[in-house]
Structure 1
Amino acid sequence: MKRLICLFSSILCLHGIVNAQQNLQPYILNGSATQRTCNCYVLTPDAQQLSGTVWNKNKIDLSQSFNYVFDVNLGCKDGSGADGIGFILQTKGTNLGAIGQGLGFKGISPSLGVLIDTYQNNNENDPPYDHLAIQMNGLSDHSSSGNLAGPITLLDGQENIEDCNWHLFRIKWDAVTHQLEVSVDNQVRLSIQKDLVMDIFNGDPMVFWGFGGSTGGSSNLQQFCAALRPEFRFDSQQILCDGTAVQLNDNSSSFGVITRRWWDLGDGTTSTALQPPAHIYPKAGHYEVKLVIEDNSGCISDTLKAPVTIGSYPVVDFEPPILCLGTPLQVNDATTIAVGTLEKWNWDWGGGITSNVKDPIAPYTTPGFYNVQLTVTSKEGCSSTGGTQVQIAEQPVISATGKNACFGELNVFTGTNETPHLPIHKWYWDLGNGDNSTQENLSYRYAAGGKYAARLHAVSDLGCAAKPIDVPVEVVDLKAHAGRDTLIARDQPLQLEGLAAGTGLTYAWEPATGLNDTRLSNPVAILQKDQTFRFVVTSPEGCMDDDTMHVKVYAGPEFYVPTGFTPNNDGMNDYFRVIAPGVPKLDFFKVWDRWGNEFFSATSLTDVWDGTFKGKPADTGTYVWMVQGVDYKGRLFSRQGTVTLIR
């Protein structure tokens, strides 16, 4: 127990042992290679033109199978980094190595190299991505006879391996089948079948093995470790639930034999077994499991810290208790869980009908009561089942009417429940103008004429909504307009222009004096004296509106022109204008000063002189005017005179 306390309080208490063991390591280091920890080595620091090799002192026998596991790290500089590392088998000795593109392998013969190349050398026929290849006899050119397999990416779909991360690198040799298999992060990437002893090493099965790495004009920090990775796993059937015995299985990776393990299960429980006994955690919650391993060389791993969630059991619930036909029968899961993550749902609707979505649509088509059961399972494998009776209710049916109205009067709305056995709990009118009402029947006065898209909603006592009914209504606003007041010459025909909104309208003008037809919207009037007309419009619904216009009758044709005006913007007599009863067409209207300078000119009776000349106020004084036009009988008609401008 003291040993465990030492390990989990601080790994530093082992450093004295580790440092003593480093001097006993069976490796020879060359060039830039250095030992970083008990089981880890730097082949090249991040510097140019370096070579580092680490060779095991003891040869291995290729007539025997081996399964070597390493961690490799190719640095962090993608693109500008180089050059790579290789796992090498050779018979020449333990002081070999080369800088640059050779990766410590080039020129060594006989040899076999599993090369991780992070730089594209065109003269070596390298691909543009970081790549893996198996080569022999120091030939690193991928187009040479020494290229046995590859090049390919180290990981499927990943072109960059200079990612600052450690990657598990496995070399597996089967001496019986003569198969060499290379895996990266537990993915088999390359495999060859070749008699290495006879085809490469001339019948000599005893070879040195180790790692080489190099840099050239570019560089990277390049490292490897004799793998010592603590890891654990759960059986595929293991559930992690409150009160359930949990079995942790060791799944560690190591280059050598794992001789010792130290477990901390996160709740104060510790163990040194290959795998701790099945363990029941005291309660649901989140725990941190720690694992440290030691191999037969005396190297001790970093501490694995892995979270483990012991889940609580779901509290099953769902809603609503009443579903309405005529709408999607949407059921919503309302299950809660104190610890863990809900992952699976299984609904049992009865009659062998099931569903496995979280929020399903119930399959029922007729009203009634149905027993529904739901089983919910968490990601941790914790399951609970609950059920309740769900009512499938009918949808009420309603109808509605709306009556058109004249502007200023009331529109009448009525609602009717066509399914009296389903009482209506609430009526809801949308009157189409932003106003609402909760009355079943109502009378409503709109503030403006027009068409309104009213709509009636209703909800039954069980909460089921009826299909809404559209009730379009119209407020008839005739907007009668008799026309602007005007003036006319005695006996001059005047075309009246009565206007109104709507179709199928009837018209009446009062009085009939001087009119050719009082029932037209645009009769012709010939008058002898001033007259005020009333224009009356009636719609098919019986709506009525009226308007008046006044006609001033002059003896004409004639031009009426004032003798003076005061353009001082006081709103009184500010403009000089001509009034021309009986003269519908004006040829010109002009104003001159006493020296004959033209100050104003117009060809329309609506144009007026504002007392300015070229944008500036004209002087006070007397001006000469002349007007000419064609009267309603086609005769040329003109007048002239003077006007006084007073300021």
Structure 2
Amino acid sequence: MRIFLQRALGLLLLGAGVSGTATAQAINENFDNVPGLFTSGWSQKNNSSPLGASTWVQGSTATFPSFNGAGTSYIAVNFNSTTGTGTINQWLFTPVRDIKNDDSVIFYTRIPAGTVYPDRLELRLSTAGASTDVGTTATSVGDFSILVTSVNPNLSSSTTYPAGYPNVWTRIGAKVTGLAGPVSGRFAFRYHVTNGGPNGANSNYIGVDAFQFKPFVSGCPAVTIATPASTNLCPGTPLLLSASAATGNPSFQWFLNNNPIAGATSDAYIVTAGGAYTVRATYGAPQSCVSTSNLVTINTIPKPTANFSFDSYCVGRATMFSNTTTVTPATTPVAYRWNFGAGGRDTVIAGNTSFTYGTTGARQVKLVAIPNGCLAQADSITKTITLETPPAGMRLPTVNVKYDTPTELMARTLPGAALEWNPPVMISSATIVNPTVRAVREQDYRIFYRYASGCETVDSLLVRIFTENNIFVPTAFSPNGDGQNDRLRPLLVGITNFRTFRVYNRLGQELFSTGDAMTTGWDGTYKGQALPADTYMWVTEGYDRNGNFIRRNGQVVLVR
């Protein structure tokens, strides 16, 4: 809802008195006395449809105070320019002036703070002398076909300029261009809103203050802002801008983004915020000659968003850290410091890097991003990396197989690891624990176990080829503790049901017996006592994959 007080403004009585005076050409109107305008060259016209009762009136402090002067010293217009739901086409004409290219117009405008109904204000120009012909319809512009500037041309509900209509006093400036030569004419404010009025979705109340028309004076001494040592502003470290006039001793006024900076009236200004800076030098009175300086854009150094990722967390393996820090614009120079949480100093590196950890445990990894040497805008991020170490690899027992006969192999099962046999030849699958091999040659396999941490364990398994199903026993062994041939075991080829393996001395006394051919084996002892070097007899039995009973015996030499 619109505020009732704002609706009532159309019925306010007009004030009295005229304080804005103009030179022969310049206009400097503060709207201290709106009724007096219309006896000093200003005029107004309402072409809204349907026609409403509201006109351009004295401002009200109950809605908002003026930009300068007394609280009511501004001119206002509102939604009652039309009735019901209609199109507002309300005009305010300035006095006639001689107008040429590079003449400038300045004014301040705003809408009430709070509930937003989109409003629109245009400043138009007629080159037809004292004409106030704007046509006869709610959309016509007549002789005022030149659009100088527009506030909220798209009827946006935003309350910031230029996105929408500002809800604080905002300076609007424009320069006359495109004329073929000097003309006699006048400017006009056009309050133009579709779907407006008391029942419309748009239009509310706008104020205009501090209107100035400044004729361009050729030959006005130039004013220049010196190029600063840097145009990059680090918050907390101000920059100094200085201006100088070509001649004379003018008064200065600094502007930020075309808005005057309060109190900035010397030839130097200390910058604490980014933006577009200009300075205006005024010579004589009342403002008979004004020069505008070059524009200096100060950019606030942007704050980056520090971030990184890492690919692994395995002890002894290089962990790759990928720098994913973002900063806008991307061309901003950024320095980076890494701390890998391993007790060392920070490392200064341009971007991606790697680090190898020597022990397990949690580490705090920190990345600091410093844009353009500005510590005030630095950003950092810390992530925890928990280092792991893989199980040790091992040599699995040799598997003896019959030539081109399907035989199951068996790898270790290591939880959390993805398994792969290499090379992936002669086996049914390279990614399962128990593939079937049809071996036509001897093959030494590597079994890779890969973890999410990047760790890797490698086992090995030898597959040997025999031409028949059989049980083989070595002819000698040396149980001396050197890890080589310390136990006597039968070698099974195609045996699916192993029965027994027994060892005897020369007198036929049984020294050893087992039904496990893979893991036990005889260590050359009897009842815990090492037997001497000698020749011993053995007997072994089992069934092959075809169900055939196989019994073998022979001799073995124990070497000390």
Task: Give TM class, smaller chain.
Answer: 0.3 to 0.5
TM superposition score normalised by structure 1: 0.31
User: What TM-score does the superposition give when structure 2 sets the normalisation length?
Assistant: 0.35
User: In terms of Rg, which structure is larger?
Assistant: 1
